Amino acid sequence: MTTPAAPAAEPVLYLDGVTVTFDGFRALNELSIVVEPGELRTIIGPNGAGKTTMMDVITGKTKPDRGTVRFKQHDLTRLDEVRIANLGIGRKFQKPTVFDHLTVVENLELALKGERRPLIVLFARLDADERARIDEVLTLVGLTARARAPAGLLSHGQRQWLEIGMLLMQDPELLLIDEPVAGMTDHETHETAELLRRIAGERSVVVVEHDMEFVRALARRVTVLHEGRVLAEGPIDHVQNDPRVIEVYLGR
């Protein structure tokens, strides 16, 4: 389990009493979640439990009616999506979108932190540090052998890893990952669990997932959402045996 170096380490993500209402429907209801530095947290819950809304609130896509949302010392409710992304929160959406006609390396190159203005990009060349960074991420996501392949030729699982790699190029402190293993083979699912465990530690990772096999493979702290609030939280074994969780989710 995560053992923060300093006992009073400031949490990376701090949600307290967050409420979001859509036309009278409470998507989030007094939601409170704390994620520590380097933690790998899994969020599960039935459809409509508020998982996606929670991600939207953290990334600034949705503004909460009330409650506290903090990333380290920053109040996220006051910032827009771009500012939040620049603070170091990366989000991977469900559907992988990589650039099919560019190679794996080129995809990572475009995602690299740095100058974005056209005339500067026109003359941009990778320096040694940047190449080393690309190599490091290639190794991490296990795509070194496919570095020069066009992304369009990758398998579904590899595309997901490439997209995670693109997020890593921006060097975020907190990664939000939405259903990474949907549509993956069992083998790919296990590889993905391995990958996320490797990534966590240096940075915090929050994964939303349906697939219980994958959640077990991650074997980390699990938060169960139900009707916009936390129903249970703890290690997977503990959560799986919670009678309330079994009733609303696992025991269907």
At closest approach, how far in Å is the CB of 151 from other proteins? Answer: 9
Virtual torsion, Cα 93, 95, 101, 107, nearest 10 deg: 20
- 16, 65, 100, 186: which one binds other proteins (CB under 8 A): 100
Residue 166: which of 190, 134, 194, 142 has the closest Cα? 134
195 binds other proteins (CB under 8 A): no
111 binds other proteins (CB under 8 A): yes
- Angle (CA) 166-94-185 rounded to 5° is 90
At closest approach, how far in Å is the CB of 214 from other proteins? Answer: 25
Q: Kindly give, in sequence order, each residue whose CB lies less than 8 Å from that of residue 217, ignoring residues fewer than 6 positions away.
A: 189, 190, 193
Tell me how far apart the alpha carbons of residues 148 and 167 are, in angstroms, rounded to a whole number: 19
- 34, 87, 102, 140: which one binds other proteins (CB under 8 A): 102
Virtual torsion, Cα 183, 188, 189, 191, nearest 10 deg: -150
24 binds other proteins (CB under 8 A): no
Binding positions for other proteins, 125-144, rule CB under 8 A: 125-126, 128, 131-132, 134-135
| Angle between helices 128-140 and 156-169 in degrees, nearest 10 | 140
At closest approach, how far in Å is the CB of 108 from other proteins? Answer: 9
Contacting range for other proteins; rule: CB under 8 A; set: 33-41, 50-58, 60-68, 122-130: 122-130
Tell me how far apart the alpha carbons of residues 35 and 13 are, in angstroms, rounded to a whole number: 5
106 binds other proteins (CB under 8 A): yes
Residue in the block written with tokens 């590889």: 191
Using an 8 Å Cβ cutoff, are 67 and 19 in contact?
Answer: yes
- 101, 243, 251, 252: which one binds other proteins (CB under 8 A): 101
- 5, 25, 123, 187: which one binds other proteins (CB under 8 A): 123
At closest approach, how far in Å is the CB of 12 from other proteins? Answer: 22
Contact residues for other proteins, defined by CB under 8 A:
82, 85-86, 97-103, 105-106, 109-111, 116-119, 121-126, 128, 131-132, 134-135, 147-148, 166, 170
